[in-house]
Structure 1
Amino acid sequence: MLPYPALHASHSGVWIATRDGTREVSRGEAIALVADTPTIVLNAPLIGQRLGYAELSGLDLLELFAFVHPARFAVPTPKGIAQALDLPLPADEAGIADLLRRAAAALIATASAPWAEQEGAWTAARSLFRLRWPWAPALGQVLPKPDTAERWLFSKLPEWEEAPPRAHPRTVTLAPDAVAERLASLTGSAAEARPGQRAFAAAAAVAFAPRVARDTPNLVLAEAGTGIGKTLGYLAPASLWSETADGAVWVSTFTKALQRQLAQESTRVFPDPAVRRAKVVTRKGRENYLCLLNLEDALQGGFQGRAAVLAQLVARWAAYSADGDMVGGDLPGWLPTLFRRNGSTALTDRRGECIYAGCPHYRKCFIERAARASAQADIVIANHALVMVNAARGRETGTRPTRYVFDEGHHLFEAADAMFSAALTGMEAIEIRRWVLGPEGGGRGRRRGLAARLSDVASYDAAGGEAVVAAVDAARLLPAEGWLSRIQEGNPFGPVEELLACVRGAVFARAKDGEAGYGLETELSEPPPELVDAAGPAAQALDALLRPLIALGKRLEAVLTEGPDWMDGPARARIEGAIASLGWRAETVAAWGRLLARIGGPVDPDFVDWMTVDRVEGREYDMGLHRHWLDPSRPFAEKVLKPAHGVLVTSATLRAGGDWDVADARVGAPHLLRQPSHFEAVSPFAYARQAEVLIVTDVKRGDLPALANAYGRLIVAAGGGTLGLFTAIRRLRGVHARIADRLARDGLPLYAQHVDPIDTGTLVDIFRDDPRASLIGTDALRDGVDVPGHSLRMVVMEGVPWVKPGVLHAARRLAGGGSAYDDRMVRARLAQAFGRLIRRADDRGLFVLLSAAMPSRLLGAFPKGTPVIRCTLDEAVARALSLGAEVGHGAQALPMEPPL
Structure 2
Amino acid sequence: MTDEASPPSLFSGPAAASSRPAAPIGDARIVLPNVPVIVGGLRRAAVFTPDGELDTLAPAAAARMARGAHPIVCHMPATATRLGCAPFYAHDVLELFAFARPARFCLPTPRGLCSALALTIPNGLEEEAQALIACVRALLVEISQFHRRDATMARGTAWAMARGGWGWGNSVLAALGVHGEMPHRTNVAAGFRVWDHLPEINDFYPDAPPANQPVSAAEARARLAELLGDNAEARPQQADFSAALTAAFAPRDQQGTPHMVLAEAGTGTGKTLGYIAPASVWAEKNEGCVWVSTYTRNLQRQLDSELDRLHSDPIEKARKVVIRKGRENYLCLLNMEEAVSRLGADPRQAIALGLMARWAINSRDGDMVGGDFPGWLTEVVGRAATVELMDRRGECLFTACTHYNKCFIERAVRKSRRARIVVANHALVMVQAAQGGIEDGSLPTRFVFDEGHHVFDAADSAFSAHLSGGETAELRRWLLGAEENGRSRARGLRRRAEDLITSDNDAIDAMDAILQAATCLPGPLWNTRLLDGMPHGPTERFLALVRAQIYARCPDASGPYSLETETDPPVPDLLEAAVELEHALEILCTPTQAMIKALTTRLDTQADELDAAMRLRIESLTRSLERRILQPLTAWRAMLDALTEQTPDDFVDWFSVDRIDGRDLDVGMHRHWVDPTVPFAKSVAEAAHGLVITSATLRDGSGDAERDWQAAEARSGGIHLPSPPVRSVVASPFPYPDITRVLVVSDVRKDDLAQVAAAYRELFLAANGGGLGLFTAISRLRAVHQRIAPALDDAEIPLYAQHVDGMDVSTLVDIFRAERHSCLLGTDAVRDGVDVPGDSLRLIVFDRVPWPRPDILHKARRNAFGGRSYDDRLARLKLKQAFGRLVRRSGDRGVFVLLDPMMPSRLHGAFPEGVSVERVGLAEAVRLTRQFFQQQNS
1:525 lines up with 2:568 in the alignment:
yes
SS of residue paired to 2:644: coil
Alpha-carbon distance in 1 for matches of 2:813, 2:526: 38
Task: Write out per-residue CA displacement over residues 197-218 of structure 1, whole angstroms, 9 at most, x where no aligned residue.
Answer: 1111111111111111100011
Quote how far apart the aligned CAs of 1:787 are: 0.2
Quote how far apart the aligned CAs of 1:308 are: 4.4
Contact 1:112 1:144 survives alignment (8 Å): yes
Contact 2:156 2:186 survives alignment (8 Å): no
Alpha-carbon distance in 1 for matches of 2:277, 2:509: 55
Task: Write out per-residue CA displacement over residues 664-689 of structure 1, whole angstroms, 9 at most, x where no aligned residue.
Answer: 11111122111111001111100000
Counterpart residue number, 2:265: 224
Contact 1:516 1:618 survives alignment (8 Å): yes
1:675 lines up with 2:724 in the alignment:
yes
1:134 to 154, 163, 167: 167
1:375 lines up with 2:417 in the alignment:
yes
Report the residue type matching 2:639 in the other structure: L
Task: Write out per-residue CA displacement over residues 709-742 of structure 1, whole angstroms, 9 at most, x where no aligned residue.
Answer: 1111111111110111101001101111111122
Report the residue type matching 2:400 in the other structure: G
Counterpart residue number, 2:129: 97
SS of residue paired to 1:223: strand
Quote how far apart the aligned CAs of 1:407 are: 0.3
Counterpart residue number, 1:897: none
Contact 2:551 2:557 survives alignment (8 Å): no
Counterpart residue number, 2:692: 648
Counterpart residue number, 2:332: 291
Quote how far apart the aligned CAs of 1:114 are: 2.5
Stretch of structure 1 that moved more, 336-345 or 96-105: 336-345
Counterpart residue number, 2:676: 632
Counterpart residue number, 1:562: 605
Quote how far apart the aligned CAs of 1:423 are: 0.3
Report the residue type matching 1:348 in the other structure: M
Quote how far apart the aligned CAs of 1:621 are: 0.8
Report the residue type matching 1:741 in the other structure: P
Report the residue type matching 2:512 in the other structure: V
Contact 1:608 1:627 survives alignment (8 Å): yes
Change (3 A) 1:886 1:580: farther
Task: Write out per-residue CA displacement over residues 507-562 of structure 1, whole angstroms, 9 at most, x where no aligned residue.
Answer: 11112338921111111132233211111101111111122222212222222223
1:325 lines up with 2:357 in the alignment:
no
1:447 lines up with 2:490 in the alignment:
yes
Counterpart residue number, 1:359: 401
1:11 to 32, 42, 55: 42
Contact 1:297 1:445 survives alignment (8 Å): no
Contact 2:368 2:387 survives alignment (8 Å): no
Quote how far apart the aligned CAs of 1:244 are: 0.7
Stretch of structure 1 that moved more, 529-538 or 111-120: 111-120
Counterpart residue number, 2:70: 38
Report the residue type matching 1:39 in the other structure: P
2:472 to 417, 426, 429: 429
SS of residue paired to 1:410: helix
Report the residue type matching 1:795 in the other structure: I
Task: Write out per-residue CA displacement over residues 554-596 of structure 1, whole angstroms, 9 at most, x where no aligned residue.
Answer: 2222222233788433222222221121111210111001000
Report the residue type matching 1:62 in the other structure: L
Q: Report 1:40-79 matches (<5 A).
A: 40-79=72-111
SS of residue paired to 2:656: strand
Contact 1:68 1:117 survives alignment (8 Å): no
Alpha-carbon distance in 2 for matches of 1:91, 1:629: 53
Contact 2:45 2:125 survives alignment (8 Å): no
1:609 lines up with 2:638 in the alignment:
no
Q: Report 1:380-779 matches (<5 A).
A: 380-393=422-435, 394-397=437-440, 399-513=442-556, 516-563=559-606, 567-585=610-628, 586-658=630-702, 659-779=708-828
Alpha-carbon distance in 1 for matches of 2:458, 2:124: 46
Alpha-carbon distance in 2 for matches of 1:276, 1:518: 47
Counterpart residue number, 1:347: 389
Change (3 A) 1:90 1:293: same
Contact 1:527 1:600 survives alignment (8 Å): no
SS of residue paired to 1:133: coil
Alpha-carbon distance in 1 for matches of 2:900, 2:349: 46
TM-score by length of 1: 0.96
Quote how far apart the aligned CAs of 1:395 are: 4.6
Alpha-carbon distance in 1 for matches of 2:693, 2:517: 44
Alpha-carbon distance in 2 for matches of 1:605, 1:732: 38
Report the residue type matching 1:661 in the other structure: Q
1:106 lines up with 2:112 in the alignment:
no
Stretch of structure 1 that moved more, 484-493 or 806-815: 484-493
Counterpart residue number, 2:896: 847
Contact 1:82 1:103 survives alignment (8 Å): yes
Contact 2:111 2:122 survives alignment (8 Å): no
Alpha-carbon distance in 1 for matches of 2:128, 2:744: 40
Contact 2:111 2:128 survives alignment (8 Å): no
Counterpart residue number, 2:176: 143
Contact 2:434 2:462 survives alignment (8 Å): no
Alpha-carbon distance in 2 for matches of 1:20, 1:861: 56
Counterpart residue number, 1:179: 220
Q: How many residues align?
A: 889
Quote how far apart the aligned CAs of 1:453 are: 1.4
Report the residue type matching 1:131 in the other structure: G
Contact 1:307 1:339 survives alignment (8 Å): no
Change (3 A) 1:202 1:565: closer
Report the residue type matching 1:689 in the other structure: D
Counterpart residue number, 2:16: none
SS of residue paired to 1:713: helix
Alpha-carbon distance in 2 for matches of 1:341, 1:805: 35
Quote how far apart the aligned CAs of 1:59 are: 0.3
Alpha-carbon distance in 1 for matches of 2:61, 2:741: 47
Task: Write out per-residue CA displacement over residues 299-341 of structure 1, whole angstroms, 9 at most, x where no aligned residue.
Answer: 1217947654222211110000001000110001111011343
1:881 lines up with 2:925 in the alignment:
no
Counterpart residue number, 2:303: 262
Stretch of structure 1 that moved more, 138-147 or 603-612: 138-147
TM-score by length of 2: 0.92
Alpha-carbon distance in 2 for matches of 1:752, 1:92: 19
Counterpart residue number, 1:244: 285
Report the residue type matching 1:414 in the other structure: D
Contact 1:463 1:555 survives alignment (8 Å): yes
Alpha-carbon distance in 1 for matches of 2:825, 2:122: 27
Counterpart residue number, 1:210: 251
Report the residue type matching 2:306 in the other structure: E
Alpha-carbon distance in 1 for matches of 2:607, 2:275: 48
Counterpart residue number, 2:353: 311
Alpha-carbon distance in 2 for matches of 1:776, 1:321: 32
Task: Write out per-residue CA displacement over residues 268-320 of structure 1, whole angstroms, 9 at most, x where no aligned residue.
Answer: 11111111111111000110000011111111217947654222211110000
Alpha-carbon distance in 2 for matches of 1:311, 1:514: 43
Change (3 A) 1:12 1:745: farther
Alignment RMSD (CA, Å)? 1.8
1:22 to 54, 71, 82: 54
Change (3 A) 1:190 1:238: same
Change (3 A) 1:239 1:475: same
Alpha-carbon distance in 2 for matches of 1:845, 1:390: 41
Alpha-carbon distance in 2 for matches of 1:148, 1:566: 45
Alpha-carbon distance in 1 for matches of 2:445, 2:114: 47
Contact 1:789 1:843 survives alignment (8 Å): yes
Alpha-carbon distance in 2 for matches of 1:408, 1:828: 13
Counterpart residue number, 1:158: 199
Change (3 A) 1:273 1:488: same
Alpha-carbon distance in 1 for matches of 2:402, 2:609: 18
Counterpart residue number, 1:120: 153
